[in-house]
C-alpha cells in the first residue's frame, strides 16, 4: 500500500524501534542481503580484495525477474557469511543492513511488518531514531538500485 506524504510521516513517526543487538536479522533464518554499487565497492575496499575474489568467496547470484543480482552468501546454518560473533564488516555493512527495519517493504506492508516483528523484537520498542533518518532510510530503500551479478 502506497502512502501520501502525510500518511508516510505519521506512519514512520509511530514506527518505534530500538535495536536489542540480538543479531537475529543476521543469522538463523534464510534471507538475502542485496548490494548496491556503493555497498559492493565499500566492502571490497574494506576487505582489501579484488572484485572477482569478493564475488567468488562472499556473494551469490539471486534472480530478480530476469536479472541476476548480488546477494551475500549464507553459511550452512543460514548465518550471514560476514557474521562471526558480530558483523565482521560493520563499518562497511551494506545499506540494507544499516536501514533495517525502515525498509519500504516493511513500512508499506502489514504482512511484511507482522513477519518482521517475529524476527526482530526491537520493532515496536521506543527508540531514538529521528524522523528525518527514518524517512531517508525508507526513501533510499524504495529507490534502491541492485548491483547485478557479473563475473
Strand partners for 67? 64
Q: Are 36 and 145 in contact (CB under 8 A)?
A: yes
Q: How many residues bind ligand SF4 (CB under 6 A)?
A: 22
CB of 66 to ligand SF4, least distance (A): 26
Q: Which is nearer to ligand SF4, 7 or 37 (CB)?
A: 37
CA–CA dist 96, 56 (Å, integer): 21
Find the binder of ligand SF4 among 9, 47, 87, 139 (CB under 6 A): 87
Instruction: At 32, give phi and psi (nearest 5°).
Output: -125, 140
H-run or E-run covering 70: strand 67-72
62 in contact with ligand SF4 (CB under 6 A): no
122 in contact with ligand SF4 (CB under 6 A): yes
CB of 4 to ligand SF4, least distance (A): 28
Per-residue binding letters, 8-47, with ligand SF4 (x by CB under 6 A): -----------xxxxxxxx------x--------------
CB of 18 to ligand SF4, least distance (A): 8
CA 111, 81, 101 angle in degrees (round to 5)? 30
Which residues contact residue 7 at a Cβ distance below 8 angstroms, ignoring those fewer than 6 apart?
A: none
Q: Which is nearer to ligand SF4, 8 or 82 (CB)?
A: 82
Which residues contact residue 77 at a Cβ distance below 8 angstroms, ignoring those fewer than 6 apart?
A: 27, 28
What 3-state DSSP class applies to 114? helix
Find the binder of ligand SF4 among 47, 97, 117, 139 (CB under 6 A): 97
- Chain contacts with ligand SF4 (rule: CB under 6 A): 19-26, 33, 80, 82-83, 87, 89, 93-94, 97, 100, 119-122
Amino acid at each position: 500500500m502506497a502512502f501520501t506524504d502525510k500518511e508516510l510521516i505519521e506512519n514512520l513517526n509511530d514506527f518505534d524501534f530500538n535495536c536489542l543487538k540480538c543479531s537475529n536479522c543476521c543469522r538463523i533464518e534464510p534471507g538475502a542481503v542485496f548490494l548496491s554499487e556503493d555497498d559492493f565497492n565499500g566492502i571490497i575496499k574494506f576487505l582489501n580484495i579484488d572484485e572477482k575474489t569478493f564475488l567468488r568467496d562472499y556473494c551469490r547470484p539471486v534472480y530478480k525477474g530476469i536479472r541476476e543480482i548480488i546477494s551475500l552468501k549464507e553459511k550452512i546454518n543460514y548465518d550471514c557469511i560476514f557474521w562471526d560473533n558480530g558483523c565482521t564488516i560493520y563499518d562497511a555493512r551494506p545499506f540494507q543492513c544499516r536501514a533495517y527495519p525502515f525498509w519500504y517493504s516493511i513500512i508499506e506492508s502489514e504482512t511484511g511488518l507482522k513477519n518482521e516483528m517475529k524476527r526482530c523484537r526491537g520493532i515496536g520498542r521506543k527508540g531514538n531514531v529521528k524522523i528525518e533518518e527514518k524517512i531517508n532510510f525508507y526513501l533510499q530503500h524504495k529507490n534502491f538500485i541492485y548491483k547485478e551479478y557479473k563475473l
